[in-house]
A = this chain, B = another copy of it.
Amino acid sequence: MGNDTLIEQAAQPAALPPTPLTIEGASVLHQMLRIRWAAWRTLTKERQAELMAQAAPVLEEIEKAGSAVFSLLGHKGDLMLVHFRPDFVQLNRVELRLATLGLWDYLETTTSYLSVVELGLYDSTVKEWSRLAAQGVQPHSEEWNREVAAILSRQREAMASRLYPEIPDRKYICFYPMDRRRGEAKNWYQVPMNERQRLMREHGMVGRRYADDVKQIITGSIGFDDWEWGVDLFANDALVFKKLIYDMRFDEVSAVYALFGSFYVGVRVPAAGLGDLLAGRLPA
Contact = CB atoms under 8 A, between A and B. Distances in A.
Interface of A: 2, 17-19, 22, 24, 27, 29, 31-32, 35, 37-38, 41, 71, 73-76, 78, 87-89, 91-93, 95-97, 99-100, 102, 104-105, 109-114, 116, 140, 171-172, 174, 176, 181-187, 189-190, 209, 220-226, 233, 238-239, 241-242, 244-247, 249-250, 252, 254-256, 262-263, 265, 267, 277, 279-282
Contacts of A27: 238
A241 to B, nearest CB: 4
Given A174-B223, A184-B184, A249-B189, A74 B112 contact: yes
A190 B255 contact: yes
A187 B18 contact: no
A177 to B, nearest CB: 12
A86 to B, nearest CB: 12
Contact of A239 (B71, B116, B171): B116
11 contacts: A2-B256, A24-B242, A31-B75, A35-B99, A41-B102, A71-B96, A189-B254, A220-B242, A223-B245, A226-B262, A226-B263
This chain: how many copies in the complex?
A: 5
A22 B116 contact: no
A66 to B, nearest CB: 16
Given A31-B75, A35-B99, 6 more contacts: A29-B73, A182-B255, A185-B185, A187-B256, A224-B238, A224-B241
Residue among A113, A183, A225 facing the most chain B CB atoms (10 A cut-off):
A225
A246 B22 contact: yes
A239 B89 CA distance: 12
Contacts of A221: 242, 263
A201 to B, nearest CB: 15
Contact of A104 (B38, B190, B247): B38
A225 B263 contact: yes
Contact of A73 (B91, B226, B247): B91
A220 B241 CA distance: 12
A181 B29 CA distance: 31
A38 B220 CA distance: 32
A225 to B, nearest CB: 6
A186 to B, nearest CB: 5
A51 to B, nearest CB: 12
A185 B71 CA distance: 40
A139 B226 CA distance: 38
A189 to B, nearest CB: 4
Contacts of A220: 242, 246
A133 to B, nearest CB: 17
Contacts of A100: 37, 41, 279-280
